[in-house]
Amino acid sequence: MSTSLLSDANRRLERALKYVKISEDASERLKFPKASLKVSIPVRMDNGSLRVFEGYRVRYDDTRGPTKGGIRFHPNVNMDEVQSLAFWMTFKCAALNLPLGGGKGGITLNPKELSKFELERLSRGYIDAIADFIGPDVDIPAPDVYTNPMIMGWMMDQYSIIRRQLCPAVITGKPLSMGGSQGRDAATGTGAFFVLAAMMQKFDKSPHETTVAVQGFGNAGSVIARLLFEAGYKIVAVSDSQGGVYCPDGLDIPSVQQFKNAARSVKAVYCEGSVCSIVENHQVLTNEELLTLDVDILIPAALENQITAANAADVQARYIFEVANGPISADADEILEAKGIYVFPDILVNAGGVTVSYFEWVQNRSGLYWTEEEVNQRLSRMMVTEADKIWRISQELAIPLRTAAYVHALDRLGDALNAKGTREYYVG
């Protein structure tokens, strides 16, 4: 992970600032996180040894409401990454008009190396360390890379133990039995599908003649792949962390999902199977090769910085929908723009997760719970409405969709920051 990831993110902010009228105070505030916390988490391992893990939590901006953002367990987690993800979440919440700010958290480890017992002790230890930094009205964590409803349930339970009261609204993405929301587990992929389907109508291209490659067949990537398959799109390639498969005639996504589910170890929290193990009638390829396939739509749904200045010129897709956070670097943006590729940005496309997390938070606080159909109806309405607004900004100002999304978010953030007082107000 580059140590300049946050600087890279700020380049997008600087570009968007040229097209909005907000105070210097507001633009300066948005360049820095409000609060960043680094903690150590001692965990007694199953063999009796003690390991200390590094954990992070960042509240980037809470002008529009309490901060919101996931917790990831990954070997590459560091402060720069977490701050950058919290930055993106700030703009994502504003772009979707959610009354929330941006936050993020993580622990540096390979979670596949830990047992369920060790993961539980680690998850509860993390909450012990950051309990004073989060809360239903302060900062609300959620699942992210390699975290899941079970882990969120442990964390919510630990926070409730510390506070000596049941606090379901402190964590979202929980199991349904602990106050989770219908539709939350699939929300990122579902929301991305709503955006993709709505935006592709603008190009007058039918699903049956549209080819798609999905990098990252995890929670979000597998969901959007299934929904696109059911809608008639031709999914020609998918991949996970171990590699991918390609079939020019189209993959049967339910079969790929069934194979991966069957190959995983039922004894572990994380799967050990890989889609690249499917070799019959398919061509095995790497994640890097998948990114350069000659397809209509490319969906990066894995990790950050997958498309950079080093490989952007090789990308052949006409449309890119960012389901992952930050899969394209700022340098690569300029190359893809020059090639005429439409990039639908992460702060719009993958906002389904935080939107349904917001729904879960609302349901926890009100005590009224919605059906999955109600959740998806609300999600579709919000995602498509904001996608249309961003599309119009892009067309009216003749700017890339990413810049348009930041302009859209900046208008709302600027209004909120200016309401607290600016230089112009005090010295007039």
What pLDDT digit, counting tens, does each position of 88-110 carry? 899 999 999 999 999 999 999 99
My answer on whether 34 and 153 are in the same domain is: yes
My answer on whether 163 and 309 are in the same domain is: no
**What confidence score (pLDDT) does residue 269 get?**
34
Q: Is 427 among the domain residues? A: no
Catalytic site residue 92? Answer: no
Q: Give this prediction's pTM.
A: 0.89
Domain endpoint, select from 349, 375, 402: 349
Interval 242-253 mean pLDDT: 90
My answer on whether 268 and 162 are in the same domain is: no
Of the residues 104, 174, 234, 260, only one is catalytic, namely 104
CATH of the domain at 119: 3.40.50.10860
Q: Is 97 among the domain residues? A: yes
Residues 200 and 399: their CA atoms lie apart, in Å, by 18
Q: Is 19 among the domain residues? A: no
**What confidence score (pLDDT) does residue 281 get?**
58
Residues 115 and 117: their CA atoms lie apart, in Å, by 5
My answer on whether 315 and 244 are in the same domain is: yes
Residue 1 has pLDDT above 80, yes or no: no
My answer on whether 340 and 208 are in the same domain is: yes
CATH of the domain at 197: 3.40.50.720
Q: Is 80 among the domain residues? A: yes
Q: Is 320 among the domain residues? A: yes
My answer on whether 66 and 169 are in the same domain is: yes
Closest listed residue to residue 8, CA positions, set 379, 304, 315: 304
Q: Edge to edge, what strands does the sheet with 139-143 contain?
A: 35-44, 50-61, 101-108, 67-74, 139-143
The total number of structural domains in the chain stands at 2
**What confidence score (pLDDT) does residue 119 get?**
98
Interval 248-277 mean pLDDT: 63
Binned at pLDDT 50, 70 and 90, residue 52 comes out as: very high
**What confidence score (pLDDT) does residue 417 get?**
85
Binned at pLDDT 50, 70 and 90, residue 264 comes out as: low
How does the average pLDDT of the chain come out, rounded?
91
For a pLDDT cut of 70, what percent of the chain falls above it? Answer: 93
Closest listed residue to residue 238, CA positions, set 299, 294, 162, 311: 299
Interval 257-283 mean pLDDT: 53
Closest listed residue to residue 412, CA positions, set 73, 61, 15: 61
My answer on whether 298 and 208 are in the same domain is: yes
129 lies in which domain range? 27-178
My answer on whether 270 and 236 are in the same domain is: yes
